């Protein structure tokens, strides 16, 4: 997949009702390099998938097939091609977020379910600036906390997001040390909140209140790990409701995320 295929990606994601923008697709191609693929049927482009390698951990995302040719094995072929690409690069762990409908397909390819996330949606309530939140934190602190939460070295992703959305990176500090951070980005259907990690519940709630102060009145999506009960309670207290559930699945060596720290994922594209 190249930039010449951006129109294809946008058409397919619109068919699926997904939230990505063209800027998202451009970021995927930059991060994924030559690990992004297009499926063709009878000479016509009909499907996409992208992969991201973060040292020993990889993500597979944006597996999309034109609705006119679904059910013909194209999605499975895209997955097999992506996995062969990742296996050829010695990746130890491959991960993705799946719907329940996609679960049987991924299980046949060796993926196992690790836990559930819920995509919460709704209009953020307005709130006064709570104070105690800073913008543009030192990225070394963000990268360290993100690794503690995800056990994945996501430096290229986070640095790219910081470059694109500087003002959307928010943090809580204590004695000069970062104890929580939150990022957000615009989407086609709603603002995507995440990733978010917090060492303390109070800091996580403070960041969400800060999001209400900045984004109040706007429609948002936020993907929350269900095992993190504090995060679930916090987003539900804001009036957000679960739109759907996602299954975090893995293949190969398990990645032991610290779900007490992980308040929101980056979205199904990159975990």
Mean pLDDT by 10 residues, the chain (271 residues): 97 95 95 94 96 96 95 94 97 94 90 97 97 89 96 95 91 94 96 97 98 97 98 98 96 96 90 77
CATH number, residue 13: 3.40.630.30
| Predicted pLDDT at 100 | 82
CATH number, residue 232: 3.40.630.90
Residues 77 and 128 both lie in one domain: no
| Predicted pLDDT at 50 | 96
Total tally of structural domains belonging to the chain: 2
Q: Kindly state whether residue 141 falls inside one of the protein's structural domains.
A: yes
Residues 153 and 191 both lie in one domain: yes
The DSSP secondary-structure symbol of 59 reads: E
Q: Kindly state whether residue 103 falls inside one of the protein's structural domains.
A: no
Calculate ∠ Cα 165-169-170, nearest 5°: 155
| Predicted pLDDT at 63 | 94
Residues 169 and 253 both lie in one domain: yes
| Predicted pLDDT at 42 | 95
Residues 128 and 231 both lie in one domain: yes
φ and ψ at residue 262, rounded to 5 degrees: -85, 105
CA neighbor of 267 nearest in space, from 97, 65, 90:
97
CB 94 within 8 A of CB 250: yes
Reduced to 3 states (helix: H, G, I; strand: E, B; else coil), residue 107 is helix
Residues 129 and 225 both lie in one domain: yes
Residues 44 and 155 both lie in one domain: no
Residues 44 and 177 both lie in one domain: no
Residues 128 and 26 both lie in one domain: no
Q: Kindly state whether residue 96 falls inside one of the protein's structural domains.
A: no
Residue 100 CB neighbours (<10 A): 12
- Domain end, chosen from 71, 91, 111, is at 91
Q: Which domain holds residue 137?
A: 119-264
Residues 125 and 250 both lie in one domain: yes
């Amino acid at each position: 997949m190249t930039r010449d295929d951006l129109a294809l990606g946008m058409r397919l994601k619109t068919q699926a009702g997904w939230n990505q923008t063209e800027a998202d697709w451009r970021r995927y191609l930059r991060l994924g390099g030559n690990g992004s693929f297009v499926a063709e049927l009878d000479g016509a482009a009909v499907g996409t998938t992208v992969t991201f390698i973060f040292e020993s951990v990889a993500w597979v995302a944006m597996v999309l097939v034109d609705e006119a040719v679904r059910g013909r094995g194209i999605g499975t072929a895209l997955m097999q091609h992506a996995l062969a690409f990742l296996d050829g690069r010695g990746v130890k762990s491959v991960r993705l977020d799946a719907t329940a409908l996609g679960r049987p397909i991924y299980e046949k390819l060796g993926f196992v379910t690790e836990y559930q996330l819920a995509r919460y949606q709704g209009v953020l309530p307005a709130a006064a600036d709570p104070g105690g939140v800073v913008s543009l934190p030192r990225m070394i602190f963000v990268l360290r906390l993100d690794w503690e939460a995800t056990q994945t070295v996501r430096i290229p992703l986070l640095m790219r997001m910081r470059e694109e959305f500087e003002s959307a990176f928010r943090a809580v500090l204590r004695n000069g040390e970062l104890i929580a951070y939150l990022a957000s980005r615009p989407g086609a259907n709603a603002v995507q909140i995440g990733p978010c990690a917090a060492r303390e519940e109070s800091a996580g709630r403070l960041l969400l209140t800060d999001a209400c102060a900045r984004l109040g009145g706007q429609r948002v999506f936020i993907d929350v790990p269900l095992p993190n009960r504090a995060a679930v309670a916090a987003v539900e207290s804001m009036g957000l409701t679960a739109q759907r559930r996602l299954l975090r699945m893995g293949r190969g060596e398990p990645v032991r995320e610290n779900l007490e720290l992980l308040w929101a994922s980056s979205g199904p594209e990159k975990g």
